[in-house]
Chain A
Amino acid sequence: MKPVTFKLLLPTLLLFCLQFASTVMAQSAGIELPAGSFHSVLPEVVGEPHRVDIFLLDETAVTNSQFRQFLMENPRWSPSEIPALYAGNRYLQHWSNDGNYGDESLADLPVTRVSWYSANAYCGWKGGRLPTLNEWEYAAQLMHFNTAQEENLFSSELIGWYSAVDAKHTKPVGSTGIENRYGVKDMFGLVMEWVEDFKPPVATDLSLDCGTVGRMQGTSSMYGYAMSVRYITRMSFKATSTTGMLGFRCAYDYPENAESTKGKSSALMINHPNNQSTY
């Protein structure tokens, strides 16, 4: 009897370990978002919304403690060693010591005052990259609203938030209670986030005046207006910018040979803000 139990026990244990390992991996590799398309405020070919392939996105923004780990393993990105080429002189200025944020109560706050270069390097170190502008915007539009009214209310709060991102009183990641349909958290209400191509090729043709905001708006919805504010704010950044309202999260290519749980071709189509029929 005994050897049989043992024979059974080993594969069970192995299976358990594998399952555990895959859960851990899934956590560190971000949340899977299906392929789809969306309308942005940038010009697009009529009838051809921006397409996004399946990819993975971090659940939350990168925290102070995660970024400290990166600096410990990559001291060339610490404030004392980083060349001026890669970051402005306010890089991690709010941390108490070089490469350390000090007070442990700050561990779970999103890291801010990081340049695009340092965010890009962090994500590379994690085996990923920064999300593209389209990926970020697509994920941000995967929100669930029960009614158009609910969406409008959310959007008007959003405009208020964008007009005064509070860089001095940042809250821990995951604390906003805002998440998209797949569980990606705090894309609004915490910090603004770096994207890989924050100045898309079209950006050179646009200037940051009120007329541009009006033109970019395109649709008259509140959400469209909040989005324009976000696009325009983002275009004003430089890659060496290190402001207190700017953090980041990482994205990952979908592994080539992996089997998607949500289907690679489930092409999700987001129609809002200009198509109310999605409700």
Chain B
Amino acid sequence: MQNLKLLFLLAGMLLLPLLASSQQTMTMNNAGLETAKTYHAESLHHMNAEWANQNGETIQLADYLGQPLVLVMFYGRCTGTCPVLIQRTWKLYSGIDVDIRDRVQVLAVSFDYKNDTPQALKEYAENEQLDIPGWNFVTAQQSDIRELAMLLGVQYRERSDGHFEHSNLITVLDAQGKIVLRSEGIKGGLSDTATAIEELFKSDLQ
């Protein structure tokens, strides 16, 4: 009998830390599962970068979970194609059905992390008359900007004169953060893209 008690005691001593550690691994696994559950494997919502907008507020891509997002990359000092690209994004936006347009979110990300501070972005947005609800002009730390560009397939390179060579791309993410549309270039009609965005909202309601 004594021996049995001792055995239980010993077993308990041995098992306790084991149990404790297995509980730890379980919570860790759960956390892993949760992220996998929340975001689609190809979702850009996996990005945990913090973006600062023209009002100094912090935005994460995961904030857009449940709603489609129009993404465009540009830089504020650009006098060449960027105003065109931003205006093209506006043209796309204004081509969307009035009832839906108010719910469309636009995120304009600058590659110029040195010059496009939130204040500079505020001025830019005001100049372009796009400091309006739903439109965010953002910046972040350089490696985050690079990461997003790589995910979108936007190529850019800073030239020695401080200007950037870059792709002209408007990307649309669905409510889950997956890339569903890419509109490349600065020419051509946008009505198909606008219709596709409307469809995203309609399918979302069902």
Q: Which A residues form the contact surface with B (CB < 8 A)?
A: 50-53, 76, 80-81, 83-86, 116-117, 120-121, 123-124, 128-130, 132, 196-197, 199-201, 204, 239
Is A124 a contact of B143 with CB atoms below 8 Å? yes
In B27-46, which residues have CB < 8 Å from any A CB?
32, 35-36, 39, 41-44, 46
The interface residues of chain B lying within 8 Å CB-to-CB of A120 are: 143, 146-147, 150
In B15-61, which residues have CB < 8 Å from any A CB?
32, 35-36, 39, 41-44, 46, 48
* 12 pairs, A vs B, C-beta closer than 8 Å: A83-B35, A83-B41, A83-B43, A84-B41, A85-B46, A117-B147, A120-B146, A132-B158, A197-B156, A199-B155, A201-B165, A239-B150
Is A51 a contact of B146 with CB atoms below 8 Å? no
Is B151 a contact of A85 with CB atoms below 8 Å? yes
User: In this complex, what residue of A is CB-closest to B160?
Assistant: A51
Smallest CB separation, B193 vs chain A (Å): 22
Is A201 a contact of B157 with CB atoms below 8 Å? yes
The interface residues of chain A lying within 8 Å CB-to-CB of B87 are: none
From A81, A129, A204, give the contact of B146 (CB < 8 A).
A129
In B115-154, which residues have CB < 8 Å from any A CB?
141-144, 146-147, 150-151
Known pairs A83-B35, A84-B41, A116-B150. 9 more at Cβ < 8 A? A80-B32, A81-B32, A81-B35, A84-B42, A85-B42, A85-B151, A124-B144, A201-B156, A239-B150
The interface residues of chain B lying within 8 Å CB-to-CB of A239 are: 150
Complex Cα gap A116–B39 (Å) = 21
Interface string of B48-81 (1 = CB under 8 A from A): 1000000000000000000000000000000000
Known: A85-B41, A117-B150, A239-B150. A129 touches B142 (CB 8 A): yes
Complex Cα gap A84–B167 (Å) = 25
Number of A-B contacts (CB under 8 A): 61
User: In this complex, what residue of A is CB-closest to B43?
Assistant: A85
Smallest CB separation, B28 vs chain A (Å): 8
Known: A80-B32, A85-B46, A201-B167. A124 touches B155 (CB 8 A): no
Complex Cα gap A85–B61 (Å) = 15
The interface residues of chain B lying within 8 Å CB-to-CB of A201 are: 155-157, 165-167
The interface residues of chain B lying within 8 Å CB-to-CB of A86 are: 46
Known: A85-B41, A85-B43. A129 touches B167 (CB 8 A): no
Complex Cα gap A52–B160 (Å) = 7
Looking at A50, A132, A239, the one whose CB has the most chain B CB atoms below 10 A away is A239
The interface residues of chain B lying within 8 Å CB-to-CB of A116 are: 150
Is A124 a contact of B157 with CB atoms below 8 Å? no
User: In this complex, what residue of B is CB-closest to A37?
Assistant: B160
Smallest CB separation, A200 vs chain B (Å): 6
Known: A83-B41, A200-B155. A121 touches B143 (CB 8 A): yes
User: In this complex, what residue of B is CB-closest to A198?
Assistant: B150
Smallest CB separation, A198 vs chain B (Å): 10
Complex Cα gap A81–B38 (Å) = 13
Smallest CB separation, A193 vs chain B (Å): 16
